[in-house]
Structure 1
Amino acid sequence: MSTNSTEDRSRLRDKSLGSLIGRLPELVSRMIRGEIQLAKQEMSTKLKAAGVGAGLLVGAAILAIIFLQIMLAAAIIALSLVLPAWAAALIVGGVVLIIVIVLALVGIKALKTGVPPVPTEAVASVKSDIRAVKGEGEYDNAAR
């Protein structure tokens, strides 16, 4: 019943029991459509977050490969020339390593927010609707 407004609810209170029972299939159908729409929106948001996290992890992996190349170049320079050039290569490698770590941590955090892509808000809303239909509590539309 996520699409019902305050006006709809006040009109429902004025109806007779027979007319309400007659409208029950329409109301249930509207409630189900609303819950399906909520689930779609929630799944889309979570999958987008997972996509961003995966993209950041790919970026971290690419920079990790570059880091290995830089460290290999630094080791070669250090062994063959024993000059300050290897120190510069190690500094660049350290900076790339810091970037890799930051990207990986941000990517993991983004993946955790989107996985598993379960529509938890929609499930809670359906449970609330079921409680309201059973008369076990007042319908809570404030959370939507």
Structure 2
Amino acid sequence: MTNSFPHDGAHRAEQAERTSLGELIGNISDDLSQLFRQEVELAKAEIKQEATKAGKAAGMLGGAAFAGYLAVVLLSFAAVFALAAVMPLGRAALIVAVVWAAVGAVLYLNGQKKLKTVDPMPRRTVETIKEDAQWLKNPTG
């Protein structure tokens, strides 16, 4: 009994001879397209996984900020009541409020100063793009 589908080198060579150049290029194109789609799917999966981790971290940081806020409020009340032991309650509250107003003013002024140094234009990237465009116009230099 002979095998009607031989799997030896002669059969592969014969099959390769029958395949046209156009078919080979088409096969390569299909393989590259499939590979590209698989890479895109992998990238999507990785980005989704990283976004989930970032979301959890952001939630924890938000919770920490809220806990810090509550601590500052309660410590401020404690300071008011501690000062109230030696002066009227209204004056103690006013002193704590003035301290917080001063802290807020200093933070505001420093933040405003830093904000003025922010440059929204990605200057290095713009320069690189200009250089690339110039090179494309005259690749020989």
User: TM-score category by the smaller chain?
Assistant: 0.3 to 0.5
Structure of higher RCO (CA pairs closer than 8 Å, 6+ residues apart): 1
The alignment's TM-score, normalised by the length of structure 2, stands at 0.42
The alignment's TM-score, normalised by the length of structure 1, stands at 0.41
